[in-house]
């Protein structure tokens, strides 16, 4: 049996943005696909192994009925990047760090907000919803759209709320949800243009 489609979500310390983004993707994928169809992992470019999720991040996840109490930070590795069918970074610096480890990941590595911006340009794609073929097809189509779709003028980084108020954590969570709403239908639906 082949392995499930694999998405790697990256941030700096792997205690806030990437665990929450991974939890969001995992939850939405599990609601719409067969169990185990998509494996969502997270890591940090400067993670201290074993650190728990930030308290405010865990509280937000709990509101989504996701338990992050067992989350432990892990560093990004060459194997994690190479083994991912789709790499989603919270900041362009994280995407660049992943590409420094695995340059061939360029066509499948995006910032979270970049994929949301490119998703409307992804036409009909091949592959069963949530499958590795589907993720590869979406990534290729989004990568091809990069030169033709205007980049955001204010950047495409999800702001890091660590060390800031709960308001900043809530804003980060809203940003993650809003962007995922744009790109998840392309990955999860059989016919994304029917949205």
CB 20 within 8 A of CB 173: yes
pLDDT band of residue 108 (cuts 50, 70, 90) is very high
CB contact at 8 A, 115 and 179:
yes
* Opening angle at CA 39, ends 74 and 128, nearest 5: 155
The structure tokens listed for 184 are 């998840």
Structural domains of the chain, with CATH = 5-194 (3.40.50.2300)
How confident is the model over 34-45, as pLDDT tens digits?
Answer: 777 889 999 999
pLDDT per position as a tens digit, 168-179: 999 999 999 999
Predicted pLDDT at 28: 85
Structure confidence by residue, pLDDT tens digits, 53-93: 999 999 999 998 889 999 999 999 999 999 999 999 999 99
- 42: three-class secondary structure by DSSP: strand
Structure tokens that stand for 132 in this block: 């590795």
**pLDDT (0 to 100) of residue 112:** 97
- DSSP secondary structure letters along 54-98: PHHHHHHHHHTT---TT----B--HHHHHT-SEEEESSHHHHHHH
Tokens (6 digits) for 61: 């996840």
């Amino acid at each position: 049996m082949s392995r499930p489609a694999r998405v790697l979500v990256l941030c700096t310390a792997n205690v806030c943005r990437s665990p929450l983004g991974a939890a969001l993707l995992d939850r939405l994928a599990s609601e719409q696909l067969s169990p185990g169809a998509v494996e969502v992992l997270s890591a940090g470019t400067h993670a201290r192994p074993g650190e728990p999720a930030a308290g405010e991040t865990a509280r937000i996840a709990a509101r989504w009925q996701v338990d992050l109490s067992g989350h432990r930070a892990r560093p990004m590795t060459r194997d994690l990047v190479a083994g991912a069918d789709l790499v989603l970074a919270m900041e362009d610096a994280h995407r660049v760090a992943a590409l420094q480890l695995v340059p061939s990941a360029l066509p499948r590595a995006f910032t979270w907000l970049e994929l949301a911006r490119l998703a409307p340009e992804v036409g009909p794609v091949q592959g069963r919803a949530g499958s590795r073929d589907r993720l590869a097809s979406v990534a290729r189509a989004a990568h091809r759209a990069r030169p033709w779709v205007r980049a955001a003028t204010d950047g495409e980084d999800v702001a890091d709320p660590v060390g800031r108020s709960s308001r900043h954590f809530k804003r980060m969570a809203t940003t993650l949800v809003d962007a995922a709403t744009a790109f998840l239908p392309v990955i999860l639906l059989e016919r994304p243009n029917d949205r």
